[in-house]
Structure 1
Amino acid sequence: MNRTATDTALMLRCSGRPVGRYVIHPSADARLAPRPYLHPVRTFGGLPVTEYGPADHPHHLGVGVAVPDAAGRNFWGGRTYVRDQGPTELDNHGEQRHLEFKLRDPDGFVEEIGWLDGECELLRERRTVAVTPLTTSAWALDFTFSLTNPAAAEISLGSPATNGRSGAAYGGFFWRAPKERQAPEVFTADADGEAAVHGAAADWLALAGQGWTLVFAGATPETRLDPWFVRTAEYPGVGSSLAHARRLPIGPGATVVRRVVTVVADGRPSRAEAAGLVRKAVTA
């Protein structure tokens, strides 16, 4: 069946302005670990702050949820890190398949997504996304996902770090930013630079590029405990680490919930301004 444009993507609007395109039915290329994603996302001023399928990592798909190891299946895309072997091409990619919208409005939605190994559902996700205006030059993307294990046995989520690759605890909420001529700055309330903030927990973390800034904040106690995964030199990307030092178990019928709020701003706010925007975004 041919899908219409509104069947395959929807446009999110904040204060009546288009700020993000959400792709519901993604590419069927298995190596990308097909999944719904946001791209492009833009500032109020129109600057793009996401990237899709870049040459350095073709499986980076804007903004979404990606996990490199869910019960041994790769929902991140690309190669799989195998202990004592390194990055390896495996035929183990899963798929996140849109099932239905529970709510669908111009400024947000609630979506049911099946995480599939073939036709077997490993996880059921409920994704809630909303956009909120903050100032004339900043708005917030509120992104909550809950992962439920529908099986009768425990499964667990892992990362290259838990499989033996130090410093590579990616997996969870992930935002791929555009690669520019100059690497973006990254800072928290009390630290600067990739080396200082990568792998650390912080109430908020800012990524500042050419004319734009993203400020990420964990908005629940569990999310605030997740260390940040940060890249600036190799490529610009920020995510939260669900499996940083050890695998994250999900028992039968159990649910893991995370909420990340991202301020999308034109310009370069100061630390005090970034903290103020985060406070406003989380309580909006």
Structure 2
Amino acid sequence: MTGDLGDDSLVLRVADRPVARYAVRSALPARLSPRPYLHPVTTLAGTVVTELSPADHLHHLGVGVAVPDVEGHNFWGGRTFVRDRGPTELDNHGAQRHVSFAHRGPAGFTEELSWMAAPGELLRERRTVAATALSESAWALDLTFALTNVTGGPLSLGSPATNGRPGAAYGGFFWRAVKEQAPPEVFTADADGESAVHGRCADWLALAGSAWTLVFAAADEATRRDPWFVRGAGYPGVGSSLAHAARLPLAPGETVTRRVVTVVVDGRPGREDAAALARRAVSR
């Protein structure tokens, strides 16, 4: 597949090996907040490191960008956390619709997307994804997203945390990793374990499974200011927190941009090697 140039998906390659499929359009039910996503993503040896609609969270769709609250509209999928009510089934789901590719090929793409909800288009996104070789056992997935308020009025982005659920500030970049018999190990440059890492800022964060490791690097100053959202014991997943302690306002025409580079590794590198891979991936 040469960059898969079909209308519904494309395949990313590193050193002529397929490492990720990007679903551009998919027939998902509205409750899952339909959106483009990467799945399967694999190591260079072929180990799958993502999950699509697992039984524990059907709305987890591999790797992508999702926000649970855009001015009250759910672009994450599943139930909406409502203050003083908890997780609630609401008919408020939005969808991300592919508009066009400015560029696409086996090493990556730049895409324009429209975030649509009942009132119409709320956000216009420019998403850039690139796959780069780092070594014989590691490659990097570089994902940048830029969300622009196109409504002509003020918008704000929220999370379950800003709506009253402590510790649940997910929203933005999100990677649902493959679930194994044992939970993955989680560590940063100076902390170990889910509880020590979740909700804190770090230049990079590693999630290590049985035969694979994902090293997530915050690749610009704005992304480094966002705490990481981390899950390990319940399910394996890592994401950013655009709205951690307060809603993120977007004035008309304003854009919020974030960049996360993820190193996909065969094996279990130690802390120093993970840090070196993160630095190398970001610098490229």
TM-score range, shorter chain: over 0.9
Quote how far apart the aligned CAs of 1:162 are. 0.1
Task: Name the amino acid aligned to 1:224.
Answer: R
Task: Name the amino acid aligned to 2:11.
Answer: M
Task: Name the amino acid aligned to 1:263.
Answer: V
Match of residue 15 from structure 2: 15
- The change in CA–CA distance for 1:248 and 1:78 in structure 2 (over 3 A counts) is same
Q: Distance in 2 between matches of 1:266 and 1:235?
A: 20
Match of residue 27 from structure 1: 27
Q: How does 1:192-231 map to 2 (within 5 A)?
A: 192-231=192-231
Task: Name the amino acid aligned to 1:157.
Answer: L
Match of residue 256 from structure 1: 256
Q: Distance in 1 between matches of 2:41 and 2:113?
A: 21
| TM-superposition CA deviations, 1:240-266 (whole Å, max 9, x none) | 000000000111101000000000000
Q: Distance in 2 between matches of 1:88 and 1:178?
A: 27
Q: Distance in 1 between matches of 2:35 and 2:77?
A: 10
Q: Distance in 2 between matches of 1:148 and 1:154?
A: 11
| TM-superposition CA deviations, 1:200-259 (whole Å, max 9, x none) | 000000000010000001101000000000000100000000000000011110100000
Q: Distance in 2 between matches of 1:11 and 1:152?
A: 36
Greater shift, 95-104 or 113-122, is seen at: 113-122
2:114 counterpart of 1:122: no
Match of residue 6 from structure 2: 6
Where structure 1 has 5 or more consecutive residues not aligned to the other structure, the ranges are: none
Where structure 2 has 5 or more consecutive residues not aligned to the other structure, the ranges are: none
Greater shift, 141-150 or 116-125, is seen at: 116-125
Q: Distance in 2 between matches of 1:88 and 1:279?
A: 41
2:153 counterpart of 1:153: yes
Aligned partner of residue 215 in structure 1, secondary structure: strand
Aligned partner of residue 6 in structure 2, secondary structure: helix
Aligned partner of residue 6 in structure 1, secondary structure: coil
CA RMSD, aligned part only? Answer: 1.0
Q: Distance in 2 between matches of 1:104 and 1:180?
A: 33
Match of residue 280 from structure 2: 280
- The percent of aligned pairs where both chains have the same amino acid is 68
Match of residue 105 from structure 2: 105
TM-score (norm 1): 0.98
Aligned partner of residue 275 in structure 1, secondary structure: helix
Quote how far apart the aligned CAs of 1:5 are. 8.0
Q: Distance in 1 between matches of 2:51 and 2:167?
A: 23
Q: Distance in 2 between matches of 1:5 and 1:26?
A: 15
Quote how far apart the aligned CAs of 1:26 are. 1.8
Aligned partner of residue 67 in structure 1, secondary structure: strand
Match of residue 79 from structure 1: 79
Q: Distance in 2 between matches of 1:64 and 1:257?
A: 14
Match of residue 144 from structure 1: 144
| TM-superposition CA deviations, 1:49-83 (whole Å, max 9, x none) | 00000000000000000100001100000000000
Quote how far apart the aligned CAs of 1:119 are. 6.9
